[in-house]
Amino acid sequence: MSSKPPRAVEIAIIGAGAVGAALAARLAEIGYAVLLVDARAKPCAEGRIVALSHASLAGWDLRGAAEAIGIRKVRVDAPEGSLWLRAEDLGLAELGACMALDALVEALRARAARSAQIRWPVRLVALRADEKGVVLRLQGPRGGMHEVHARLVVAADGAGAEVARMAGFRTRLGWLHNRFALAAFVRLSRPPFAAALERFGEDEALALLPWRDGEYALVWTLAPRRALLRLREDADAFCAHLAEAMGPENTAIFGAPRAVRARRGIPLALALSPPAVRGRVWLAGASAHHLHPVAAQGLNLGLRDARTIAEVLDEPWARRDPGARVVGETYAQRRVLDVAGTVAFTESLWLAHAHRSPCLRAVRALALGALRAFPDLRKSLLARLVHA
């Protein structure tokens, strides 16, 4: 959809991925004039599977939005021990579900199109602030330029954070993990059974998410050299190495690897932009915080950003000027604890298994033992992951 954008809107959202499209739909539903733009006509997420928590599915009414494969339990396994996290421990039918990201984004874009103005492929070229809002300079598919005035701009353009750079966000914290996420689809000797696996080894981690047609979606975190070897080797060698990484107990439960397809490598890094507000430009999703994929927290955290934005802007005092300084500060303050807590959890979980220190082994063994011995502690961790 590439017709000329309007000259003025209350809120412009740059980036029509899952976070941007969900937010556009919600803000338009509560009465805001919203413009949603993206440089791409179609989502660039083909082949990517995401795990959505119970809270994300319920809070955004995503059940039925796209094909979903439910997860009723997760096996957490490490050399120091293992345990099961079960939905029934929280009185739930499922902990969450797996969806194809491209199908989810298409469904959310269609939802946004019912009440928001949507334009793509349209690229943001520049932006500048004035006393009443932000002027966006947009380029259409044929090269034509158009200016739009918005009282508030929300950047949901992903980890590249191009809008943040244009808006003058100077702080970009984080580091390279010196690891690659090797993503693929694998077929095991046993069919999926609504269970996922999180396996932590020495200097590696892997996750298996149940998917359709008897396959699992694999995310395998490896050092760069090992990731390159796994990407280049033939399917039989890959399956043998994956079986070794899973371990005999997990291959007995989930099945041994039999086939693999669609392998690809993704470099991993932590990137944060605190605070997520600068004037009338707010950041949401991966443009504000790009995380390690362990425990599948990234998209769920971004959807919580969008939910908080909608809650703040639905307040009567915020409607007078959604881009006012006090409104932005309220959004930023409400997100601090959740973002900081999630980043601390994912980074500590990864770092605890990224080194072969005997002290860390003892800490891991103690943590797993405590989770097995104390059901309330296990439920508390599970509730944090599922409900945030």
> Rounded mean pLDDT of 242-248?
97
**Structural domain count, the chain:** 2
For the whole model, what pTM was predicted?
0.94
> Worst-scoring range by mean pLDDT, 34-38, 77-81, 183-187?
77-81
Residue 250 and residue 294 in one domain: no
Task: Go through the chain and tell me how many residues it has.
Answer: 388
Q: Is the pLDDT of residue 3 over 80?
A: no
CB atoms within 10 A of CB 6: 15
Residue 147 and residue 206 in one domain: no
Between the alpha carbon of residue 303 and those of residues 1, 18, 253, 355, the distances in Å are 24, 8, 33, 32
pLDDT number for residue 232? 97
Between the alpha carbon of residue 185 and those of residues 181, 213, 218, the distances in Å are 13, 11, 6
Cβ atoms of residues 158 and 286 within 8 Å:
yes
Q: How far apart are CA 293 and CA 296, in angstroms?
A: 5
What pLDDT digit, counting tens, does each position of 22-62 carry?
A: 999 999 999 999 999 999 888 776 789 999 999 999 999 99
> Rounded mean pLDDT of 244-267?
96
Residue 197 and residue 263 in one domain: yes
Mean pLDDT of the chain: 92
Q: How far apart are CA 387 and CA 83, in angstroms?
A: 20
Cβ atoms of residues 11 and 281 within 8 Å:
no
Cβ atoms of residues 256 and 306 within 8 Å:
no
Identify whether 192 is preceded by a cis peptide bond (ω within 30 of 0): no
Name the pLDDT band for 1 (thresholds 50, 70, 90).
low
Choose among 383, 386, 388, 219: nearest CA to 306. 388
What pLDDT digit, counting tens, does each position of 332-387 carry?
A: 999 999 999 999 989 888 887 777 778 888 888 898 899 999 999 999 989 988 88
Residue 302 counted as domain residue: yes
For residue 36, give its domain range: 8-45+101-173+270-349
Residue 2 counted as domain residue: no
Residue 191 and residue 316 in one domain: no
CATH of the domain at 382: 3.30.9.10
Name the pLDDT band for 4 (thresholds 50, 70, 90).
low
Q: Is the pLDDT of residue 230 over 70?
A: yes
pLDDT number for residue 159? 85
Q: Is the pLDDT of residue 220 over 60?
A: yes
Residue 81 counted as domain residue: yes
CATH of the domain at 107: 3.50.50.60
For 180-206, b where at least 16 C-beta lie within 10 A, e where not — what string? bbbbbbbbbeeebeebbbbbbbeebbb
